[in-house]
Amino acid sequence: MNIKKIVLPETELPRQWYNILPELPTPMEPPLHPVTGKPLCPDDLLPIFPMSLIEQEMTQDTYVDIPDEVLEKYLIWRPTPLYRARGLEAWLDTPARIYYKNEGVSPAGSHKPNTAVPQAYYNKISGTKRLYTETGAGQWGSALSFSCALFGLECNVFMVRVSYDHKPYRRIMMETWGGTCVASPSNKTNAGRSILEKEPDSPGSLGIAISEAVESAVADEHNKYSLGSVLNHVMLHQTVNGLECQKQMALAGDYPDVIIGCAGGGSNLAGNCLPFVRDKINGKDIDIIAVEPAACPTLTKGPFAYDFGDAVKMTPLLPMHTLGHSFVPKPLHAGGLRYHGMAPIISQLIVSGLIRSVSVHQLETFKAGIVFARTEGFISAPETNHAIAVLIQEAMKAKQEGKEKVILMNWSGHGLVDMAAYEAYLAGELSDYAIDDEEIKDSLAELDDLPKPRQYRA
């Protein structure tokens, strides 16, 4: 009987997160203050984050200890299993050996609790009473609600309107864990009201929802803000995945030639690949691929520039790939990939040539998800289907080349709360939309007025 999955005992749960910042071949450029344009000081972030997270955002330590209280909660679902995709391999008849790291076993169903739990913990011990955040597809909002329940914090979520309408189950999950969830743009904030005045039927965007959450967080000293992707400390927390995965690949007796992850804000890809990027910096030959939707092609069509993380220019300017902070992607079932920007760490790795990016069309992603469900059994989140589409492309390329490649994919979450998207696909009702240059012209033009990073790429 062949081994199907590699499961680590609890004693093998990593006790430290890995921080790539001190090991980058080209150092990151600093975030800039949104008003002064000067490099951000730790104190600038205190109204929205506790100091412990700000320190993690900027630390140059290669490893950061995971607190016992966080390890204890991680054990609810971690270590997660690494799967050999034997069913998919057989169906594709490929010589590639395909592995996927199953981050869908968390109570919230995705990789998001990897950072939601420590963020709730650090907020709790620093006296925060209420956390505010935004969510796209709802993966993040539900992960934070789950985590706040474990630590007794109040959780308030602004959910992008189009996902709020399409994914009521995500909202109910948040409420089951004791959180609250409102559609964004909402009339609860100045940011939301200003958008609604201009466009009453706005489908919303992550950028808008971030604005609403940040505005709510700064309104009271016991409120804080929490971000589910993009920032350095989020990538740091997510590396618990890749650190486990390296142990598991070693137990499998294999090492990846190709690593694939979908990328919205960048956290699931980063969590899995950053420890491998370290190996690549040290000489390993790995093809690392960030997969994004053709309808929101941040990496494949956006410049590397300074831009705001939100729609109304409240956040610091981050050096990243971006489609412009006013870009509002069309509705898309992979709501978690509807973000105008990208994690500075992932962006920097793209600029440094350590990661490459590809975009895929929505129909191809659901086709891939159906194949995966019928061969591997698991129904994937629409976001995850983007990675599967490229996984299948790479496995077929290995077949054409007759190469025994080892391909590793981060299976970021299940799709059981996204079945409406599958219904639309199976009924032939899904659109297949790709952004053209004309549609991002205006939002990109806004970047011209902002400072440029040294490594600026048009």
Closest CB 185 distance from a second copy, rounded Å: 23
Q: How many residues does the chain have?
A: 458
In terms of CB distance, is 35 or 90 closer to a second copy? 90
Closest CB 83 distance from a second copy, rounded Å: 8
Q: Could you tell me if 180 and 186 are in contact, meaning their C-beta atoms sit under 8 angstroms apart?
A: no
Q: How far apart are CA 147 and CA 142, in angstroms?
A: 9
In terms of CB distance, is 1 or 458 closer to a second copy? 1
**What's the token pair of residue 23?**
């090991």
The H helix count followed by the E strand count for the chain is 17, 15
Residue 238, strand partner residues: none
- Side chain identity at 458, as an amino acid letter? A
DSSP label at residue 230: S
Contacts with 441 (C-beta within 8 Å, 6 or more apart), sequence order: none
> Is the alpha carbon torsion for 263, 265, 266, 267 positive or negative?
negative
Q: Could you tell me if 309 and 213 are in contact, meaning their C-beta atoms sit under 8 angstroms apart?
A: no
**What's the token pair of residue 46?**
């205190």
In terms of CB distance, is 181 or 318 closer to a second copy? 181
Alpha-carbon distance values, 313 to 164, 215, 264, 325, 449 (Å): 24, 11, 20, 8, 13
In terms of CB distance, is 253 or 377 closer to a second copy? 377
In terms of CB distance, is 169 or 433 closer to a second copy? 169
Closest CB 5 distance from a second copy, rounded Å: 7
DSSP of 258-300, one letter per residue?
A: EEEEE-SSSHHHHHHHHHHHHHHHTT---EEEEEEETTS-HHH
Closest CB 281 distance from a second copy, rounded Å: 32
Q: Could you tell me if 222 and 128 are in contact, meaning their C-beta atoms sit under 8 angstroms apart?
A: yes
Closest CB 351 distance from a second copy, rounded Å: 38
Closest CB 275 distance from a second copy, rounded Å: 22
Q: How far apart are CA 349 and CA 343, in angstroms?
A: 10
In terms of CB distance, is 76 or 445 closer to a second copy? 76
Rounded CA Rg of the chain: 20
Closest CB 149 distance from a second copy, rounded Å: 4
Closest CB 206 distance from a second copy, rounded Å: 23
- Side chain identity at 211, as an amino acid letter? S
In terms of CB distance, is 68 or 285 closer to a second copy? 68
| C-alpha dihedral (67, 347, 112, 255), degrees to nearest 10 | -80
User: Applying CB under 8 A, which residues contact a second copy?
Assistant: 1-5, 7, 9-10, 68, 71-72, 75-77, 87, 105, 107, 109, 146, 149-150, 168-169, 172-173, 175-178, 370, 373-379, 416-417, 419-420, 422-423, 426
In terms of CB distance, is 179 or 329 closer to a second copy? 179
In terms of CB distance, is 125 or 420 closer to a second copy? 420
Closest CB 41 distance from a second copy, rounded Å: 36
Single out the residue of 288, 291, 292 nearest to residue 275, CA to CA.
Answer: 288
